[in-house]
Structure 1
């Protein structure tokens, strides 16, 4: 079940993010302490979850007027079952109701990052096309120490096709 988060679920989502982050360790990517993104969120209208209780989530924001996928995390115990794809499609459905594109930042060479998003319709967004907020976000990631391996900015253009959407929270 893909749905918007409830306020009482937000604190527990950090465990999912931390477990998902552990998948990067064998690649030599270890996130600095204090960079768990979901802990900063207090608005359930920014978070789409999978399951009840949640086994994965997508946290959305707005950057340069577009929906920005801040974080997508699925607990490894529930990985490779399509949960991430369903969450991503819910993000894109929600975005299509309010904007023309979704942006994100991700690791270029991690198989379940940039290549995974590319297979789902995302493309690398050249730096010359970044807006001022996206540029600042990338700089903030660098300052936090998240750029531990080459990263890219990606985007996916949304179609305004009149289909039903999860909602217009973002």
Structure 2
């Protein structure tokens, strides 16, 4: 897989990836997450125009995964990372995170942050394995508190959620 910036005409494909990636949540009793609509095209385009929407593409140069992010309180916050189930378990998500970390370093940011489900195997337990740690309530920055409040307003707190951070080491 190769990682590059998302193109405008690929944004509908990112929505398709999101829908497909939501399917496994149904097996965990999280049908509302599985059925949740992906980010709107105008939101995806805002990330793209800001240079913060990246795709992992295969030999056919078709997106198989994507990541959108924005700076929040000195870190690059991963707003969404989704891998199509057909590309899962191949290190694609890890490669996207490494790419995002490189971009964050270039901007002088100090880490990666994200919010995720605490008990979903491919969420918090996965991120713990690749170097993230759970932030305690007292460690949350103002921006992360705002993000968590918005998530709660969307009903995501029906399932346990956590904020996580991974420091960026060196250049």
- TM bin (shorter chain): 0.7 to 0.9
CA contact (8 A) 1:125 1:154 kept: yes
Q: How far apart are the structure 2 equivalents of 1:24 and 1:95?
A: 30
CA shift in 2, pair 1:129/1:35, >3 Å: farther
Mapping of residues 128-147 of structure 1, within 5 Å: 128-147=138-157
Q: How far apart are the structure 1 equivalents of 2:16 and 2:157?
A: 22
Question: Does residue 92 of structure 1 match 2:101?
Answer: yes
Aligned to 2:84: 75
Aligned to 1:36: 38
Query: Quick check: which one's helix share is greater?
Result: 2
Question: Does residue 156 of structure 1 match 2:158?
Answer: no
Equivalent of 2:69 in 60, 64, 88: 60
CA shift at 1:11, angstroms? Answer: 2.5
CA contact (8 A) 1:70 1:104 kept: yes
CA shift at 1:119, angstroms? Answer: 1.0
TM-score by length of 1: 0.88
Q: Structure 2: which 5+ residue stretches go unaligned?
A: none
Q: How far apart are the structure 1 equivalents of 2:132 and 2:18?
A: 22
Question: Does residue 15 of structure 1 match 2:16?
Answer: yes
Q: How far apart are the structure 2 equivalents of 1:149 and 1:81?
A: 27
CA shift in 2, pair 1:35/1:136, >3 Å: farther
Which structure has more relative contact order (CA 8 Å, sep 6+)? It is 1
Aligned to 2:52: 46
CA shift digits 1:69-94 (9 cap, x unpaired): 01110100111111111111111111
Q: Structure 1: which 5+ residue stretches go unaligned?
A: 162-170
CA shift at 1:34, angstroms? Answer: 5.7
CA contact (8 A) 2:133 2:165 kept: yes
CA shift at 1:135, angstroms? Answer: 0.3
Q: How far apart are the structure 2 equivalents of 1:35 and 1:146?
A: 13
CA shift digits 1:111-163 (9 cap, x unpaired): 111111111110001111111111011010011112231110000001232xx
TM-score by length of 2: 0.87
